[in-house]
Structures are given as structure tokens and as C-alpha cells.
Amino acid sequence: MTSHARLALVGGTKTLTTEAPPWPTFDDSDRRALLDVLESRVWGGYHPTVGELERSFAAFHGANHGIATANGTVSLEIALQAAGVAPGDEVIVPPITFVASAAAILRIGAKPVFVDIHPGTLNIDLDAAKDAIAARSANGAHVRAIVAVHFAGLPVDMDQLMALCGDHQLVLIEDCAHAHGAEWRGRKVGSFGSFGSFSFQASKNMTAGEGGMLTAIDPAIAERARGIVNQGRRTGGAWYDHVTLGTNARLTGFQAALLLRQLERLPEVMARKARSADRLRAGLAEIGGLSPLPGVIDPRVTAHGNHLFCVRVHPAAFEGVSRDVIVQALNAEGLPASPGYPRPLYNNQVFKDHAHVVTPCPVAEELCRSVFWLPHNVLLGDDRWL
């Protein structure tokens, strides 16, 4: 665009003349897979595709066990319970994430301790987490666990996180809802903590409309989670034999059939998104005033999930024009930019009504005013689109 072109926001012609690449995508193999489940009449319970997905998804992520669930919210609740987090326990969580990361802690009767994020990565600030653990213990409380979110698909610094968990005997639950296939030093997310919790909700990097998955290394806690998902049944046990207190959080064969195909396509999809993200990063560097987050990706991140492409706006570079106006201008040009979360989670009514702890979160507060993101499907196009 030349400097004389009029912005679409003020009546100029839209820059992007085609829609963003669609999500989800499907082809005839998805149609056939769904018909196979349909015709099998095994619509509920455990169609063979569910076990197949559990095994393939876990193996792909370097975990020993996969436990399919109804969604990525109950999977977090089940992970916390199966890992032994009890009512009253304190659990560290960042305030910049989807509500489920922290609501799951409340749902099992535990107490969220909100810890700020790092301005360069938007992941939890692990130095601040360390300080929070010390401050809580000075108050006579005890932090038991951490829900670490690989935000936007960028792995948390797992070297520092594993050291922190080791030093304080923290239970680690990885919220991998944005991070299918993401890697830290060649090791996939979901294989570090007691559990990795994945979502297959409609907007995520793999989707069946709804759905979730837990990955685990330890067979005993994996079996505990599997029992909770399936009405307290033991693996191989009788249908009406209920050993533990469970619920019904099963995934269906229809969902698993779609997800198996997406898992096959994931490496290619990730490679395409990585290429688009690199191009976008290079292009933004020429503009100034808009910094991609992170600016430089830590070389220990060997694969980024690229669920969201986050950008920090520096209004001073735009004569004070706000992030919100820039998002409106981008939308008008045909780019589906989003201002993202309107407030840190703890400012939602639900947390005011339930016991929680907030440590100072200036970075999170500032981010809600200055960052926007692009959804992953923007990165799915070819060179013509981005």
C-alpha cells in the first residue's frame, strides 16, 4: 500500500480481497471416516478410533498414555484431581489465558494463585512464580501445583519450569490447548508434566468441534484419569463395576475419526504456519510500531504451535492511535485481528466470588491494552494470502 492509499476504515478499498483461509478444513477422507463410524453403529462408548487416537496422539507427543476427554476444560479438572491436587491446595496459574485454565482449579475446590506473565513471551513469569511461592509460604500457605500454559503455542521455558517444580515439589499440569505439536529442545509439550491437557475445541489447532486429550507418562496416574473420564471404571473392568468416583467425559468415535486425520496432517500444517509466521515477523520488522511476540524466538523452542500470532502495538509510533483502533483498521482491511482477552482473568466476576490470590500482574494489565492477535488460520494460506 502506498502512503497515499486510503485506509478501508475511512472508506478506502480493502487490502485483502479474499477471505482468510477457512478453519477447520476437511476432504473426502474425513467424509469417509465419519461414514465408517456412522455405519458401525458404535456412536458412543469406545469406538476403535478413540483408542487409536489416544495411542497415536500420545506417541506423537512422546507420552506413554493418552486419555481422550470431552473437552479441554474437564481434562484440566481431571488432570488436577488425578495428579492428587486436593480441595484447599494452592495452584499457580497465569492471568492471561482462557478462563478454563484457572476455573478448573476452582472447580476441584483448590485455590488459584495468579502470577504475572513475561512481557517478551506472554508465558508465565517463572521468576515471579518463584517469588509467589516464597510469599505464600511466608503467609503460612503452601503452593502445591502449577498450571503452565504454553500460550499462543509457544512452549514455556521448560528448563526453568522443571527446575522450579523440582525445587518445590510442585505438581505440573501443562495446559497445551494452544500447543499441539509444540516442542522445547526437541521434546514435545505434554510430555513434561504429570499431565498435558489438550483441547480440540472449534478454534484450536486440531478440532472436532469439541474434544480434549490428556497425555501422561506415569501409568498409575494415567489410569486414575481414565477412571474419572469413564464413570470410575477400571480399564478392562465390567461395565457396571465402578471402583472410583468418576464422571462421564468420554470422546466419541466421530470426533476421534476426524482428529486422527488432523493428526496425520499436523506436521505439514505446522510447517506451513511456521513459514507464514516467519514471513509475517520479517514484514513487521520493516514497519516499526508493531512488534511480534516474541520478537526473537528462543532457539530452544524447536517447534512453535502457532495457535495465535501476537503483536504488541506501540501507539507512540502511530501518533497515539490506540490498539483498538488499529484492530478496527486491520479488520476493515480484511484481516481478522482480535484484541484478545479484555482483562486479566482475576478481574472476572467468577474470581471475585471464589477464594483466590492475586500477586502483582503489571505486565498482564498492560497487555490487555496493547496486544492484538491473529488466529492460526491466517497462517494457513499460501504466499498470496500473507
Ligand X SMILES: *Cc1c(COP(=O)(O)O)cnc(C)c1O
Place of cell 482477552: 341
Q: How far is CA 191 from CA 57, 60, 87, 95, in A?
A: 11, 10, 26, 23
Least CB distance from residue 174 to ligand X, whole Å? 11
Place of cell 505434554: 190
Least CB distance from residue 54 to ligand X, whole Å? 16
The residue among 146 and 326 lying less far from ligand X, judged by its C-beta, is 146
Site for ligand X contains 121 (CB under 6 A): no
The residue among 253 and 305 lying less far from ligand X, judged by its C-beta, is 305
Site for ligand X contains 102 (CB under 6 A): no
Residue 178 annotated as catalytic = yes
The residue among 150 and 226 lying less far from ligand X, judged by its C-beta, is 150
Strand duo 195-199 + 171-175: pairing: parallel
| Adjacent-strand bridge partners of 292 | 311
> CA 256, CA 148: separation in Å to the nearest integer?
26
Site for ligand X contains 199 (CB under 6 A): yes
57 to 96, contacts with ligand X by CB under 6 A?
71-73
Least CB distance from residue 307 to ligand X, whole Å? 8
Site for ligand X contains 112 (CB under 6 A): no
State the catalytic residue, choosing from 57, 175, 180, 188: 175
Residues 210-239, one symbol each (x = binds ligand X by CB under 6 A, - = not), give --x---------------------------
Among 201, 205, 215, 231, binds ligand X (CB under 6 A): 201
169 to 198, contacts with ligand X by CB under 6 A?
175, 177-178
Residue 240 annotated as catalytic = yes
Grid cell, residue 369, equals: 491494552
Q: For ligand X, which stretch binds (CB under 6 A), given 27-35, 97-105, 124-132, 216-224? A: 97-105
Least CB distance from residue 208 to ligand X, whole Å? 10
Site for ligand X contains 309 (CB under 6 A): no
Residue 204 annotated as catalytic = yes
Cβ–Cβ under 8 Å, residues 338 and 375:
yes
DSSP 181-249: T-EETTEETTSSSSEEEEE--TTSSS-SSS-EEEEES-HHHHHHHHHHHBTTPPTT--TT---S---B-
Q: Where are the alpha helices (DSSP H) in the chain?
A: 28-40, 48-60, 74-82, 100-107, 126-138, 158-168, 219-229, 253-287, 323-332, 349-352, 362-370
Grid cell, residue 193, equals: 508434566
Least CB distance from residue 177 to ligand X, whole Å? 3
| Adjacent-strand bridge partners of 308 | 375
Least CB distance from residue 321 to ligand X, whole Å? 29
Least CB distance from residue 76 to ligand X, whole Å? 6
Residue 275 annotated as catalytic = no
Q: Is 143 exposed, middle or buried (0-12, 13-18, 19+ CB in 10 A)?
A: buried
Among 79, 93, 100, 308, binds ligand X (CB under 6 A): 100
Rounded (10°) CA dihedral 358, 360, 362, 365: 10
144 to 163, contacts with ligand X by CB under 6 A?
149
Q: For residue 311, give the amino acid letter.
A: V
Euclidean distance between the first and final Cα of the chain, in Å? 14
| Adjacent-strand bridge partners of 184 | 187, 301
Residue 273 annotated as catalytic = no
Site for ligand X contains 276 (CB under 6 A): no
Site for ligand X contains 252 (CB under 6 A): no
Strand duo 357-358 + 111-114: pairing: parallel
Q: Binding residues for ligand X, how many (CB under 6 A)? A: 14
State the catalytic residue, choosing from 81, 201, 231, 255: 201
State the catalytic residue, choosing from 130, 250, 281, 369: 250
* Contact footprint for ligand X (CB under 6 A): 71-73, 97-98, 100-101, 149, 175, 177-178, 199, 201, 212
Name the residues annotated as catalytic: 98, 175, 178, 201, 204, 233, 240, 250
